[in-house]
Structures are given as C-alpha cells and as structure tokens.
C-alpha cells in the first residue's frame, strides 16, 4: 500500500480504501486525489484529459502511491461502467467517491440549448451516472461509504450572466440532499462542498491574461480577493482537506449537508 500521512489511517478510516475522483486530473480534483493518496487510499482518477491525467497519476505513483487513470466522459454511461469495472486486481471495491467533473459554461438568458446541455450534462447527468455506478457496486448495507459532490458559492447566489453555471451548481445541492435521503438506509453518506474562488491554473490565467493581475494584485482588489472575509483566494489543497474530512469516519454523522469552503463569503 502507498505511503500515507502519519497516523491518518488510525484516525479517520481512509487508509487502504479505494476512492474514485472524477475530474481529478487538474486543479481541485488533482489536489483531492493527491490528498487521498497521502491518506493511504488507492485512487482512481476518472477524467477526460489523458495528458493531464497521466502526468498527475505518474507523479503520484513515482512517490509510492497507488493511483490509476481512466480516461472518459462522465456523460457516457458505458465509459463510466468500464472505468469502475477496470480497477486493478487486488484493489478493494470503491467506497469513496468525489465528483468534480462539471460543465463550465457562463451564459445568461441568451444561452442556447446546446450551451445548456454543455452546462448541465456533465454537472448533473454525468453526476447521476457516476453515483449510480458507484452505488451499484456496493453491498446493500455499506456503512462507511461516502460521496462528496462539488457545488460552489455560485449555487447559493444570483450573478448576472452566470445563469447556466449557477443553475447547474444549484442542481448539485438538490441532487446531494435527495441522494442523501435515498442512500441513508444503505449507510451511504452524501454531502457537498461549496468553494469560493480557488487560485488554480485556469483562474491564474484569467486574472493575468484578461485582467492583467497577478495573485497579490487580484487578492488586494475589493471586487476579487477582497470580497472574501479572509481577503484572499483559496489554494486547491484548502478545498481538498474538508473533502477528505467529509469522506472520513470523523464525519460519520454528517449527510445531506453542504459545507461552504469560501473564506466567509456566504456569511455576509
């Protein structure tokens, strides 16, 4: 088994388990996969990007972790099934799932049907296919199994021009609550997290190339980093940590909940 954080497995019940992370090749997803590797999990990354996925998985394996990549689209039910069926021999069945794959479409009422599908299909339809496949592989009673879905602060607020994105993330909240109720009798917990702005490669590129701001300048701007109570953006690892908590036995009485990881944004 891969190396893990000292004492982590004794405390939170993650070591030795198999986790599936969709959208795990980059950004928050990669941070989640890396954190779970560090906790001693075997991690299957399911992502559309073969290039980024292979680079990330190869790096984790070089450090002694047990990680694999399955390349595919979450909206393709056959590909999702193949990913779960193709786990390495000797790996336990997955009992941990983190859903980060999503459609990033930022449009208002002018959005076309095609743009709505691009926003909703990966974020909601794909989410449902992955959760269905994951739960189908679990026993009728699966105490300790846990799912964490990726919502957003945008799921909780109104933003002009963000109708497609905010609606898709609000749907994740509804899906999480309903799935939590449906799966509770089987002992499967379902929660979500709502991050604020995370300083990942995409946001760094946007701030530098479109706005002409480096991180320090962006965080100092009242309309950017300044809108968070903590006065800055999150690092991907700061979102991965509460996700690991929600998956762990330390969160054993938490289900149907959404955890803001937003630097206090939704508090005011």
Residues tagged active-site = 165
Give Cβ neighbours of residue 98 (< 8 Å, ≥ 6 apart): 19, 20, 21, 22, 24, 29, 32, 36, 147, 148, 150, 243, 247
Instruction: Please work out, in degrees rounded to the nearest 5, the angle formed at the alpha carbon of residue 51 by the alpha carbons of 50 and 54.
Output: 75
Tell me how crowded residue 176 is: count the other CB atoms within 10 A of its CB. Answer: 26
DSSP assignment letter at 97: E
The pair of three-digit structure tokens given for residue 31, joined into one six-digit string? 């941070």
Judge whether 202 and 106 are in contact, CB under 8 Å: no
d(CA 65, CA 221): 40
Q: Are 83 and 72 in contact (CB under 8 A)?
A: yes
DSSP code at position 125: I
Per the listing, tokens 């070089």 go with 62
Q: Are 71 and 45 in contact (CB under 8 A)?
A: no
């Amino acid at each position: 088994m891969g190396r893990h954080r000292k004492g982590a497995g004794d405390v939170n019940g993650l070591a030795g388990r198999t986790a599936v992370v969709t959208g795990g090749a980059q950004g928050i997803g990669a941070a989640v996969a890396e954190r779970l590797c560090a906790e001693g999990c075997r991690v299957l990354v399911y992502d559309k990007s073969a290039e980024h996925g292979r680079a990330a998985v190869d790096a984790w394996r070089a450090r002694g972790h047990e990680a694999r990549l399955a390349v595919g689209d979450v909206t393709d039910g056959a590909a999702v099934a193949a990913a779960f069926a193709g786990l390495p021999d000797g790996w336990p069945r997955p009992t941990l799932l983190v859903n980060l794959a999503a459609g990033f479409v930022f449009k208002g009422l002018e959005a076309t049907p095609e743009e709505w599908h691009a926003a909703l299909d990966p974020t909601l339809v794909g989410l449902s296919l992955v959760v269905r496949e994951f739960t189908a592989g679990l026993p009728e009673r699966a105490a300790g199994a846990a799912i964490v879905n990726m919502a957003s602060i945008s799921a909780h607020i109104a933003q002009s021009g963000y109708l497609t994105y905010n609606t898709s993330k609000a749907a994740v909240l509804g899906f999480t609550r309903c799935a939590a109720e449906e799966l509770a009798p089987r002992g499967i917990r379902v929660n979500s997290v709502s991050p604020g702005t995370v300083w990942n490669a995409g946001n760094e590129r946007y701030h530098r190339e479109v706005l002409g701001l480096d991180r320090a300048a962006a965080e100092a701007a009242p309309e950017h980093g300044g809108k968070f109570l903590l006065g800055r953006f999150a690092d991907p690892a700061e979102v991965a940590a509460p996700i690991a908590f929600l998956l762990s036995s330390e969160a054993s009485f938490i289900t149907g909940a959404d955890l803001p990881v937003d630097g206090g944004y939704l508090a005011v």
